[in-house]
């Protein structure tokens, strides 16, 4: 039977909560295992559904994935790599597309359907990946329900991304490591997961410079070795817990094992909201605030305000004094969850698919909720935690795609939440 969360809201929250390894870093590191015959050890792997799917993908492609316990995995090629990415896995997470470049670079071929993932944008296209592979010399065939890519030998290329893309940057940077000659990628995404991936590839023998800036240069090498990779802390999880603490506004919450410096845009807006917080080197303390003030937000590529924090911030604004405009610039379906928040008592007007206006503060009330996607899901959990009464949350697979042991960790800071 399907699992649900039952949440009784308005319990005072306080205490310590630890941040896990970053989903969006882990998902980019697993495909790198296809590019070496040696073993790769990955440390601080979050125990989440999307990582399980990525590990299943590695097995389907002929690799062994050993769980060494305590968030450590060892991956090694076992059989000849398969060239088909299985549809049932590709449909479940968008970053399955990260496996394409390594297959193409090492086997000269990849066959895969359009990737799935959260339904937060009209189609979530992969045109910039396909254009990049074509520039590196791959033949790209778009079939009725899939793509077929072939390349005898990939060549380095100069690629200017027409739009900033996180996974696109990561995919072409990774693939270029085994292409012949030099690649220059311009208008790259700068999210912290990108230099983290580049650091690991460089440890394996790649020659990447500039990751974390908008221009990345890669000198192709003949082969890569194995290595060990420690996944960086999940900045979205840390930011989400900070927003939860501010929204609950009931006690001191200490968020541990995180990188506060990856969340500069959140601290800038918290200053304007009047949220009472203190940053340590690897921790964040949120204290009760006298009053939370409304403040507009515009989502932006890193280092701007992350789209992945927008939904949680919208919930915070339902508790703030005044009117805030939430401008979601990256995706056109990420504000749809506002309808559910309105059913819980929020006063939100949807101006258009990219902008909503929140009038706060309002009381929220528990309801029966169905989770539409990962980040809307965690936002609705936050709403339930601060709402009056009981909320029943279903389709929690979407939340478990990205947050490990959420109910347990929330219980530890005083939440009344049960997974049934
Ligand atoms: N886009 C294209 N063509 C492409 C690729 C992207 O038009 O070939 C568009 C997208 O449709 C979107 C924009 O470009 O409108 C930006 O998309 P991007 O490629 O940067 O997103 P992504 O790499 O697919 C990652 C995260 C997302 C996060 C975004 C933006 C991973 C696995 N996912 O997605 O995280 O929202 O960057 O920061 O890294 C999440 O964790 O909940 C999540 C959705």
3-state helix/strand/coil string of 150-204 = ECCCCECCEEECCCCCHHHHHHHHHHHCCCECEEEEECCCCCCHHHHHHHHHHHC
Atom of ligand 1 lying closest to residue 191 CA: 38
| H helix or E strand, kind and range, residue 60 | helix 49-60
Q: How far is the CA of 252 from the centre of ligand 1 (A)?
A: 34
Task: Give tens-digit pLDDT for 263-309.
Answer: 999 999 999 999 999 999 999 999 999 999 999 999 999 999 999 99
Report whether residue 358 contacts ligand 1, using a CB cutoff of 6 Å: no
Is the pLDDT at 118 greater than 90? The verdict is no
Distance CA 289, CA 278 (A): 12
Distance CA 379, CA 364 (A): 13
Is the pLDDT at 43 greater than 90? The verdict is yes
Report whether residue 304 contacts ligand 1, using a CB cutoff of 6 Å: no
Atom of ligand 1 lying closest to residue 189 CA: 20
2 or 12, which is more confident: 12
CB atoms within 10 A of CB 340: 18
Report whether residue 376 contacts ligand 1, using a CB cutoff of 6 Å: no
Report whether residue 97 contacts ligand 1, using a CB cutoff of 6 Å: no
Is the pLDDT at 119 greater than 70? The verdict is no
What is the percent of the chain with per-residue pLDDT over 70, rounded to a whole number? 98
Task: Give tens-digit pLDDT for 189-204.
Answer: 999 999 999 999 999 9
- Counting ligand 1 atoms within 8 A of each CB, the residue from 165, 375, 379, 401 with the most, and so the one to mutate, is 165
Task: Give tens-digit pLDDT for 224-267.
Answer: 999 999 999 999 999 999 999 999 999 999 999 999 999 999 99
């Amino acid at each position: 039977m399907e699992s649900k969360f039952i949440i009784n809201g308005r319990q005072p929250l306080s205490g310590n909560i630890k941040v896990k390894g970053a989903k969006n870093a882990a998902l980019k590191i697993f495909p790198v295992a296809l590019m070496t015959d040696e073993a790769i050890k990955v440390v601080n792997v979050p125990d989440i559904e999307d990582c399980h799917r990525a590990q299943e993908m590695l097995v389907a492609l002929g690799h062994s994935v050993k769980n060494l316990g305590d968030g450590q995995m060892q991956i090694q090629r076992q059989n000849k790599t398969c060239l088909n990415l299985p549809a049932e896995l590709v449909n479940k997470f968008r970053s399955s597309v990260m496996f394409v470049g390594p297959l193409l670079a090492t086997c000269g071929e990849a066959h895969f359907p359009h990737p799935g993932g959260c339904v937060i944008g009209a189609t979530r296209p992969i045109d910039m990946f396909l254009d990049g592979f074509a520039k590196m010399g791959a033949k790209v065939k778009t079939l009725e329900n899939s793509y077929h890519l072939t390349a005898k030998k990939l060549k380095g290329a100069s690629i200017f991304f027409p739009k900033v893309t996180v996974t696109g940057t990561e995919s072409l940077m990774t693939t270029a490591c085994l292409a012949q000659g030099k690649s220059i990628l311009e208008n790259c995404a700068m999210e912290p997961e990108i230099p983290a991936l580049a650091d690991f590839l460089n440890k394996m023998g790649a020659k990447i410079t500039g990751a974390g800036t908008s221009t990345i240069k890669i000198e192709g090498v003949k082969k890569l070795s194995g290595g060990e990779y420690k996944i960086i802390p999940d900045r979205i999880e840390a930011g989400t817990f900070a927003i939860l603490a501010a929204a609950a506004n009931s006690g001191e919450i200490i968020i541990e094992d995180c990188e506060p410096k990856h969340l500069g845009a959140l601290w800038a807006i918290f200053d304007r909201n009047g949220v009472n917080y203190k940053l340590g080197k690897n921790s964040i303390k949120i204290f009760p605030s006298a009053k939370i003030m409304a403040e507009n937000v515009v989502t932006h590529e890193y280092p701007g305000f992350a789209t992945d924090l927008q939904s949680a911030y919208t919930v915070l604004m339902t508790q703030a004094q005044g009117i805030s405009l939430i401008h979601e610039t990256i995706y056109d379906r990420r504000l749809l969850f506002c309808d559910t928040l309105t059913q819980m008592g929020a006063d939100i007007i949807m101006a258009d698919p990219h902008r909503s206006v929140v009038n706060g503060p309002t009381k929220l009330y528990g309801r029966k909720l169905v989770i539409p996607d990962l980040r809307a899901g965690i936002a609705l959990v936050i709403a339930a935690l601060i709402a009056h009464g009981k909320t029943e949350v279903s389709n929690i697979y979407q939340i478990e795609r990205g947050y490990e042991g959420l109910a347990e960790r929330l219980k530890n800071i005083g939440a009344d939440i049960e997974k049934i």
